[in-house]
């Protein structure tokens, strides 16, 4: 059975963090697609966070990214029995927006802070959303409550935004390992209830 992961990057682009997760999913037997949503040859370095954010919000945006991923899903659904979306930060929000699309098997989103702006979405597939317990830009507990009210699977871990990125200053190895273990279980179809 052919199965694919569409891996959606943060504001920085397809960097070493995304390439490492690509290798992890390939090792698990998935074909992995990493669309370059920024349409740049090189990813932004972490020290250019503000420039990366401005480029995405001003020059790309969620609507254009959603359309790009939607077109990819339309292409892949003729080849794959399973198409899973895994996104980080803006990629998680884009994956969330795509959760209503036909052909998507499941969605896993890591620290998608902007999901709070799209709570009208009603996923047509199983969704697991992952957050660090500490976020600067929004109240994690409030968002989690809203998502649980929609019967969305949500898991929080010790750490900050970026805790699952081994190249980030906020990397938390234990939380990252736990989150990836839960991600693998979820993609495999094991919809266990995790403790927050």
Residue among 127, 132, 141, 140 at smallest CA distance from 95: 127
Q: Does residue 121 sit within a domain? A: yes
66 lies in which domain range? Answer: 3-187
- Counting residues of the chain whose pLDDT is more than 70, the rounded percentage is 96
* Domain count within the chain: 1
C-alpha neighbours within 13 Å on the C-beta side of residue 35: 23
Residue 193 has a pLDDT of: 52
Q: Does residue 194 sit within a domain? A: no
Q: Does residue 193 sit within a domain? A: no
Q: What are residue 59's phi and psi, to 5 degrees? A: -110, -20
pLDDT, tens digit, 9 for 90 and up, residues 118-165 = 999 999 999 999 999 988 778 888 898 989 888 899 999 999 999 999
Give long-range contacts, CB 8 A cutoff, 24+ apart: 120-123: 121/96, 121/97, 122/150, 123/96, 123/99, 123/152
The structure's pTM equals 0.95
Q: Does residue 87 sit within a domain? A: yes
Q: Does residue 195 sit within a domain? A: no
Residue among 94, 108, 102 at smallest CA distance from 30: 108
Q: Does residue 113 sit within a domain? A: yes
Going by pLDDT thresholds of 50, 70 and 90, the confidence category of residue 191 is low
Going by pLDDT thresholds of 50, 70 and 90, the confidence category of residue 195 is very low
pLDDT, tens digit, 9 for 90 and up, residues 12-49 = 999 999 999 999 999 999 999 999 999 999 999 999 99
Q: Does residue 196 sit within a domain? A: no
CATH of the domain at 65: 3.40.50.1820
């Amino acid at each position: 059975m052919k199965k694919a992961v569409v891996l959606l990057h943060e504001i920085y682009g397809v960097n070493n963090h995304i390439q490492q997760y690509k290798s992890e999913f390939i090792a698990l037997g998935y074909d992995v697609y990493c669309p370059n949503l920024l349409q740049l040859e090189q990813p932004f370095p972490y020290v250019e966070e503000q420039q990366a954010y401005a480029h995405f919000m001003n020059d790309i945006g969620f609507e254009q990214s959603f359309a790009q991923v939607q077109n990819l899903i339309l292409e892949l659904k003729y080849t794959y029995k399973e198409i899973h979306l895994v996104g980080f930060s803006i990629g998680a929000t884009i994956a969330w927006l795509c959760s209503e699309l036909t052909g998507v098997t499941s969605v896993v989103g890591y620290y998608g802070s902007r999901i709070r702006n799209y709570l009208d979405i009603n996923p047509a597939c199983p969704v697991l959303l992952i957050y660090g317990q500490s976020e600067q830009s929004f109240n994690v507990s409030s968002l989690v409550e809203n998502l649980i009210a929609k019967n969305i699977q949500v898991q929080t871990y010790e750490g900050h935004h970026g805790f699952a990125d081994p190249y980030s200053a906020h990397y938390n190895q234990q939380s990252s390992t736990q989150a990836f273990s839960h991600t693998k279980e979820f993609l495999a179809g094991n919809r266990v209830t995790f403790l927050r």
